[in-house]
Amino acid sequence: MPFDTAPLAAPGERIIFRGEFSDPSPANYRLEYSTTGGHFSSATGATSLTIAGLISGNVDFFAPAGWDGRTALSVTLKVIKISDSSTAFTRTWTFSLKKTYPTSMTQKEGTGEVNLPGIYTYDIGPALATGHKPFYEHMTILEKFDQGSVNVAPADIKPKYRTDNALNSTAAIVAHFNLGGSGGNGTFTINSNDQISDQHGGHYELSELVSNLVAPKQIEVALPQTYEAKPGTALGRYMITRVLKADGTTWKVKKGPR
């Protein structure tokens, strides 16, 4: 990722790469990212990055702050077999400059609860006077997450467990049960229908919280999400809410604008 190998990016934009491969012996490989024109990890970081194994995790890449699109900007990922330094896989992303920015996004699905995983598709707009779709194909969109929250107050928790774990505020509950966020920022690329799709699956480990509630209740863990096409400017703000029903086992998800 990103899916699109010819993305359009903005000056100074952070683009998140992720590579994942499988092999019975992942330790026999390394991933090598390299760039022409940009930097990894920070705006002034290195121009190459080596990761042991076959799973990169999130790799931050930065386009130059003053980039005008006239100089080359690319990223290449190679999977190297350590024993003989041969290249098992290569992929190159070649960037061009965004000349305009979308300013709207509209969720096609409803905002009610659905089974996990929830998949949401967004129309990116507005339509331009230049003709017909696609208007924004290849453009990158960065997602960010803010601090999560939960609808559980200290009074909802059994006194002994609350005292033993110093759960005196909702913030303490969020921290204790690791509800602060998914940590899974990513970069999307707009497809030829001027759309992106986002999937929200999995859930938090709340069995201990459930077993220490004063009374059964529906638990809602909310995660604020922001999409950006222009760095520093929100394109869309949404709330992803994972819902654990009062039965303590049934999970749902809902998502809508905030």
Partner 1 sequence: MKPIPDDAYLSCRAIAAAMGEPLYSLRFELRNNGPAAIELPIYEPFTAFSIVAAAGGKRLEVHQPVLDIGVRRATLRLEPKTMLTLRTPIRLQIAKDAKPGTDGFVWTIAHAREGLSLEAKLEMTEPCIMAGPVVFE
Binding site for partner 1 (CB under 8 A): 1, 3, 20, 22-27, 117, 119, 143, 145, 178, 182-184, 186-188, 191, 196-205, 223, 225, 240, 242
* 220/250 Cα distance (integer angstroms): 12
3-state secondary structure of 209: helix
Q: CB of 220: closest distance to partner 1 in angstroms? A: 14
Q: 178 vs 218, which CB is nearer to partner 1?
A: 178
Q: CB of 24: closest distance to partner 1 in angstroms? A: 6
Q: 16 vs 63, which CB is nearer to partner 1?
A: 16
Q: CB of 188: closest distance to partner 1 in angstroms? A: 4
Q: CB of 127: closest distance to partner 1 in angstroms? A: 21
Looking up tokens 């010819």 gives 6
Contact between 58 and 182 under an 8 Å Cβ cutoff? The reply is no
Tokens, residue 7: 């993305």
Q: 82 vs 119, which CB is nearer to partner 1?
A: 119
Rg of the chain in Å (alpha carbons): 21
Contact between 12 and 64 under an 8 Å Cβ cutoff? The reply is yes
Tokens, residue 35: 């760039």
Cis peptide before 26 (omega within 30 of 0): no
Q: 35 vs 241, which CB is nearer to partner 1?
A: 241
Cα separations in angstroms, 208 against 30, 149, 159: 38, 17, 14
Q: 202 vs 257, which CB is nearer to partner 1?
A: 202
Q: CB of 241: closest distance to partner 1 in angstroms? A: 12
